[in-house]
Structure 1
Amino acid sequence: MEDPEASRVNRTSKSSHMDSLGLTHSTLVYDRNFVCSPSGVLMFGEIVCGLLVWTLLGGTEYVHVPALAWVMFVSLVCWVLTICRLLLYLTTAHIKMPQVPWTVLGLWFNSSATVLYITAAVINAASMTHAIRGRYYYTSWMASTVCAFLLVFCYAAHAYVSYRSWRSESREA
């Protein structure tokens, strides 16, 4: 049987360790306001279009066109990182980590994703010459190209929203 006093001391030491890291014990909360915000809407669009880009390419023999490996890399990395960011914002976990400059990080990520997706979309469009019109690969590659250009728009709009958020935050300081 465990000593209740030892258990209380153990919890207290854990608490002081978490406090020294700047973390709190509060639970994560679903933020339904984020879903309707411009950032939330853009993130959902980025996730849906990003999923379409890599699944449309992944369902073909894209490995025969080496340039499409770059498109797959960009789409998968950006898709996974966007899902991680969405989960952080939906659960308000970002509030629990105030030492991270979230607005700067968002601006940097969305701007970088815009540039990466511009290259991926252009490469995807240029690779259409390797597809035969009317075949499954052509249709999938064309659809993934359209989605990649939509993602350029989504990430650029999100970079603008992040920039506005950063500017308003820096004016308050």
Structure 2
Amino acid sequence: MESHVFGLLVWTLIGGTEYLHIPALGWVMFVSVFYWVLTVILFLIYLTMAHTRIPQIPWTILGICFNGSASVLYLTAAVICAISLNVAIRERYYFISWVASTIFASLAMVSYAENTVVNFKSWRSKSEET
């Protein structure tokens, strides 16, 4: 759940600035908004227990793939944010927002990576039972 909050913070912190002056931050916005929307959708699916009505989908493997891809892409987003800070030094007004977005992108990456490990352990324990 914290990955959802961190992702929201990333795109709101960047979205509130003139990030279009640094084209690489467009990638960060894409990653954060894309995974935020998908995380909300998956959260609602689990909250409403809709996943129990669709047993054809391997939810644990879906979680591994989703969280794993989010980890990797948030890693690229955090690195891009960090590299973009050199340009942001000239734009002193936005520097703090971009530093904070770098930190929250890193926290989102760690959170998604932790969820990947949890889903993998769950999948492995289910495969060992059969």
TM range (shorter): over 0.9
CA RMSD of aligned residues (A): 1.2
Larger relative contact order, structure 1 or 2 (CA cutoff 8 Å, min sep 6): 2
Match of 1:116 in 2: 73
Match of 1:79 in 2: 36
CA drift at 1:169: 1.3
Query: What are the ranges of 5 or more consecutive residues in structure 1 without an aligned counterpart?
Result: 1-43
Which amino acid in the other structure matches residue 3 of structure 2? E
Structure 1: distance between partners of 2:67 and 2:100? 23
Match of 1:27 in 2: none
Larger helix share, 1 or 2: 2
TM-score (norm 1): 0.73
Match of 2:19 in 1: 62
Q: Deviations over 1:53-80 (max 9, x none)?
A: 0000000000010000000000011110
Give the 4+ runs in structure 1 shifted more than 4 A. Answer: none
Query: What are the ranges of 5 or more consecutive residues in structure 2 without an aligned counterpart?
Result: none
Match of 1:172 in 2: 129
Q: Give the match's secondary structure for 1:120.
A: helix
CA drift at 1:172: 1.9
Structure 2: distance between partners of 1:167 and 1:49? 28
Match of 1:16 in 2: none
Q: Which aligned pairs between 1:19-58 and structure 2 lie closer than 5 A? A: 44-58=1-15
Structure 1: distance between partners of 2:50 and 2:110? 27
TM-score (norm 2): 0.96
Match of 1:107 in 2: 64
Larger Cα-atom Rg: 1
